[in-house]
Every structure is written in structure tokens, then in C-alpha cells.
Amino acid sequence: MTKVLSVTSECVPLVKTGGLADVAGALPGALAGHGVDMRTLLPGYRAVVAQLATREVVAQWDDLFGGFARVLKGALGDQVLYVLEAPHLYDRDGGPYVDRLGRDWPDNPERFAALCSAAALIANEGIEDWFPQVLHLHDWQAGLTPVYLRELGAADRVATLMTVHNIAFQGMAPASLLPRLGLPRSGFHDKGYEFWGSISALKAGLVYADRLSTVSPTYAAELMTPEFGAGMDGVLRERQQDLLGILNGIDEDLWIPPYDAPEGKAAHRAALRHELNLPDGWPGPLCVVVSRLTEQKGLDILLQALPALLDRGGQLALLGSGDPAMEAAFRAYADRHPGVAVRIGYDEALARRLIAGGDAILVPSRFEPCGLTQLYGLRYGTLPLVALTGGLADTVINASPAGLAAGCATGVQFQPVTAQALAHALMRLVSLYQQKPVWTRMMANAMASPVGWSQSATAYAALYAQMVKPA
């Protein structure tokens, strides 16, 4: 049994701002059947502590970055959860990273250095007579852990895996905080955690962790290029032998289609059109979008490419929020076109109805480390139309002539990520939809796609086993 401590800043169902939370919440249960005892360490945000059914204290420190802290034991499904309760750092209104006005908490460097320090202390001292053999570190919030582990003299006993979920977030802090964060100045250089004159928690993890991973094979390759590496591409090229791409999965017990075969979608499509006041009888597909409205997600080029769908009898139903100008543009489109329905905000129940009732789900992202939306689409037979990038490239089989001839296509891919290429892909989508036997076969292929955690859990378990250091 390999003992792994997962160190994360968010985790479903306790706190979520993005896909990291889904991964952190799903991995422990998925790995339980693969010889891995994974426990999770999570900051004790006010909302997280409030959700704990029990509050057994299993560790404590008198001074952790400015105040008393303790570790509370809880449960994450059938697995063990450790919550780092440090009121001076986490007991406040607002989100995990920003206040109610959307501003970064000014003490974020200390808040997540405390999480890293606690992880290193647990690895060094054990907790409940349990000593992790591997620390699985998620994104910049856990990136300083290998440094603290070295300072404690435990790096030769405990292995570290640093996983990049989104390299755009790098945990920057001014160099003046080196003493405050307990970081040795000897590591503040271009081969350490210095980045353009500042401290980068992400770079610390990329440089000092034993192994590196990210959430799809294609994204792993993309990260080593200037276009996608966000300034860290050189670091990653130096460590490419230690970098592995392992796809995320979805919880198939939580995402269960309300039908077993492609034919079952019709009733849900009709119900969705009725709910959103979209007219029936249009010859094209009902396309859905469930997304943040940002340029990263490619929603700006969707606005430009929409006529290619709407002029051919397709429809669009969108749920999301983000850039105010983009929100206004989609609302304006809906006001002037009967084939477009827009809901600004996020509603989990509506998101599921969109995926169940839509014919296709559009994910035109400029970059997408893995993506979960297209996996939900596959599970529901809602064919993904995706940009050829990151995990989108790895999970969707394109309806190319070869893919169609082999009978294995599950969606439509396009490149480059431009409005013209997306418009062409939308025209292909409409053409495929009008070939009912072809479309039905693609739906069946999609619904049979492996989108759960089984394959990925096997890969993680093998990686952990390789990483365990001699006692």
C-alpha cells in the first residue's frame, strides 16, 4: 500500500473554483482500489471548517506563519481528510484566493506557504502514526512544499510529485518576503525559485519536486513551448524526462445520463428548448456552451463564427459568466436572434440539463490543460466540438474522413483557434448532424468513451510506486 498525501487548495465537495477541485475530490476514491492510501490536506477556509461533521484534532503548532494552527480530521467520502485550521489565515469571508470584491488576499503568499509547511511537517513528523511516502502537490499553492521538505532534511525519505493544472497561475510574491516565508536565500536564483526578480511558488515546485505531471499528454508537450509555457517552458524543457501527462477523468457516479442510448436524448432536447424558449423544428443541431466567458475559452471567436451555425438552422444555448463585454455581446445576440438563448451566471442543475438536452457542446478554448466539459459531453452523447489543444486533443476523436471510415469518431476538432476555422468546424457539425446514421453512430461512440478515472488511477498508482524512496 503506497501512502500518499494530496496537498490542494480546493476540493469537491467542500470548496471549488475550477477543475482542480474536481480532481482533488475524485482521486482518493479512484485510487483506493489501486493499492494507494491517499489522504488529502486542505486549508481550513471558514466554509470548509463549517462542513466538517467531526473536528478531531490530530496535530497542532503554536506558530504557523503568525498564529496558532491545528489539523482537524474529517472524511472525504470513505477517505481521510485533513483540514489545516489556522483562523488568522483562512477564517474570513470571500473566496479561497480573493475577497468579496475579487481582489487577491494580500497575505496569499503566507496563506499557502502555511499549507506547504504543514504538508512538509506532516511528512517529516507523521500524523496519527501515518507517514506519507509521496506528497502529491497541486498547482502553485502547494509549490513551496519541496523546499520546506529539504529544509527539514526529509527530502531523501519522502518523494514529491508536482502537478500543473493551469500554468497561468504562478504564485508570485516579492523577494522581500523570503525571510517571512522561511525560504533560504540560497535558492533565490534563476535555477531556483526566482522568477523575474520575484519568488514563484510554482517554479519552486517545478524545480525541486522529484517528478512533474500535468493533466494530459498533449498539454505536457505544449508546456515546453513558449506559446503555452507562460515563461516556465525553459524549466520544463530541462526537466522533460521527469514530466508526465496523465488525463483527468470525471466521476461517473455523479455524471449519469438520464438515458441509456442516443434515442433517449430527444425528450431532453425538447424539454430544454421549451425551458429556454427556443423554437422547435429547426434543421440544425442544438449546440450548448457551459463555460467561463473569457478569451482563453475562445468565446470571443464563437461570437464571430456563430452565423455559420445559425444560418444553417443550428441553435445555441449558453450558460456562463465572465468578461462583462462578452456577457453583453451574447445577451445582445440572444435579443436579436430567436435561435440563441443566454443565461448569465452559473447553475449546476441547468448545466446538467444543457448537457443532457444539447446535441453538441462547444469548447473552442485557446488552451485547455485537460478540460472536463468535453468529457461530460462524451458521457451524455453530446458531441464535443473542440479546439485541437491540450486535453481536448487527447479525448475527442475527430470526425475526419479516416475517423468516420473507421467508425470511431466522437466529435469535431478544429485548428488553428480562429473564427474562420471555428466557422468551418460549425459547418461540418451541421453537415454531420443532417446525416442521421452517422450522427447516431458518433453519439454511441461518445457514450462508450472511457471518461472515468480507471485508466488515470492506474497510471497514478504506478507512478507513485516508482517514486517511493528506500526507507
Query: Which residues line the annotated binding site?
Result: 16
Q: Which of 421, 286, 410, 303 is nearest to 358 (CA)?
A: 286
95, 99, 102, 108: CA torsion to nearest 10: -80
138, 139, 145, 147: CA torsion to nearest 10: 140
Which residues have CB under 8 Å from 17's CB, separation 6+?
10, 95, 96, 97
**Cα angle at 245 between 109 and 247, to 5 degrees?**
95
- How many angstroms separate the CA atoms of 415 and 366, rounded? 10
Q: Is the omega angle on the peptide bond into residue 28 within 30 degrees of 0, that is, cis?
A: no
Instruction: Extract the annotated binding site for ADP-alpha-D-glucose.
Output: 16
- How many angstroms separate the CA atoms of 326 and 323, rounded? 5
Longest dimension (CA), the chain: 69
Give the three cell numbers for residue 433: 448532424
CB 397 within 8 A of CB 445: yes
What residue ranges in 231-389 does DSSP mark as E strands?
Answer: 243-245, 286-293, 315-322, 340-344, 360-363, 383-387
Burial 201-226 (b: 16+ CB within 10 A, else e): bbbbbbbbbbbbbbbbbbbbbbbbee
Written as one string, the DSSP assignment of 3-52 is: EEEEE-S-BTTTB-SSHHHHHHHHHHHHHGGGTEEEEEEEE--HHHHHT-
Count of Cβ atoms closer than 10 Å to residue 339 Cβ: 21
